[in-house]
Chain A
Amino acid sequence: MTDFFIILLSTSGALFSLLAAIGIIRMPDTYLRISVNTKAATLGVGLMLASAAVFFQDFAVTTRVQAIIIFVLLTAPVGAHLIGRTSYFTGNGYGKAQLLMILKENTISNLMN
């Protein structure tokens, strides 16, 4: 039963990591790459660490795994926000997502005028 859970958690975690890698190599825009990084990779790493916690079944290991998962969950959105903000202010590559943002800003300024 324990082996079944280890195999299930580690397989889904590895598949999510592979999905993140495919996304970061195929996505057309910097912002979409940041989105893939902060969603799929966090879930994949969380599932693989959970499989380690199921394998050891020790209080110290489970606490360590919980600390790592909470730290990754807290820092991934903050890092993604910072790097996306830098990318927006340095005027990096007008992809589709940023084109939509510019159009929205123009619409809002037209409405205010």
Chain B
Amino acid sequence: MSTQDYLQYVIIPILVLSEFMVFIRFLKGPSVIDRVVALDLVVTIGIGIISIYSIITETSNFLDIAMILALIAFLGTVAFSYYLEKRNKND
């Protein structure tokens, strides 16, 4: 059993399971804040899946996508918090 097989059959299922559990919180979440936090965690675990997948396929170009995804996640969190606070002030 090579390293790639171990990553594909053990690590990737663990990450997919954790992604699924975060998605349950995204659906359940009592408030909007919980959904935003769950969305941030989905993207953060997605970066980990991309890095493991780049090891499996031996393609290092996928790491660029991971960088862009991290940037978009931070931008989304900042924008959501800004507009949620602004909406509260207008009420």
Q: Which A residues lie at the B interface, using CB under 8 A?
A: 3, 6-7, 10-11, 13-15, 17-18, 20-22, 24-25, 30, 33-34, 37, 41-42, 44-45, 48-49, 51-52, 55-56, 58, 60-61, 64-65, 67-68, 71-72, 75-76, 78-79, 82-83, 85-87, 89-90, 92-93
Contacts and interface: CB of A to CB of B under 8 A. Distances in A.
Nearest to B34: A30
B81 to A, nearest CB: 4
A83 B3 contact: no
B55 A44 contact: no
Contact of B7 (A10, A49, A72, A78): A10
Given A64-B64, A82-B78, A90 B84 contact: yes
Q: Which 8 A-B pairs have the closest CB atoms?
A: A21-B18, A79-B77, A75-B74, A21-B21, A82-B81, A48-B48, A86-B81, A52-B51
Chain A facing B: main interface SS: helix
Chain B facing A: main interface SS: helix
Contact of B63 (A17, A25, A42, A52): A52
Contact of B60 (A11, A22, A56, A82): A56
B4 to A, nearest CB: 10
A3 B6 CA distance: 11
